[in-house]
Amino acid sequence: MQLASIKASAFAVFNKADDVSVVLLSELLPLGIASRADAKPLVIEWASKKYNCKPYAGQRGMTFKQGSTARMAMNRVLDRIFGGETTPRKPKTKTKTKTNSKTDKVARLVTSFGKLTAAEKRRFLASVQ
């Protein structure tokens, strides 16, 4: 096969895969399942029965053991229908840079002041007075 026909066939398969998630989601909406959080308990129950694997209560709710076939199936189904939808995370706060606690703050200011040029020293002293 030529590269162009391989690409065309692969793109057709990719389009089918993309369309499937929309179709599946449109079938879940009338049932009242509109988000990943709504579907997860049902998907866990389904995967538990299909793969005969018992879920357990983790830190973030019910789940399966890491790497188990039931967990992989649960994630596959949720990702296929809802995509990479996740809960929004808090923005990271900037941490203060640590200074050497052994250095005296006044000594540090004096050395910083000593590094200034004569014009900068005059300007600083004028602004302080």
**Global pTM?**
0.56
pLDDT in tens, 61-83: 888 999 999 999 999 888 888 87
Task: Give the range among 55-59, 73-77, 82-86, 108-112 with minimum mean pLDDT.
Answer: 82-86
In a domain, 72, yes or no: yes
Residue 50 has a pLDDT of 92
Residue 127 has a pLDDT of 87
Q: How far apart are alpha carbons 67 and 40 in whole angstroms?
A: 17
pLDDT in tens, 38-50: 899 999 999 999 9
DSSP assignments along 23-62, one per residue: HHHHHHGGGT--SHHHHHHHHHHHHHHHHT---EEETTEE
In a domain, 55, yes or no: yes
In a domain, 116, yes or no: no
Residue 43 has a pLDDT of 92
**Token pair for residue 39?**
């579907």
Task: Look at the chain and report how many structural domains it folds into.
Answer: 1
In a domain, 68, yes or no: yes
User: Residue 52 sits in which domain range?
Assistant: 9-82
In a domain, 21, yes or no: yes
Indicate whether 97 pLDDT > 70. Answer: no
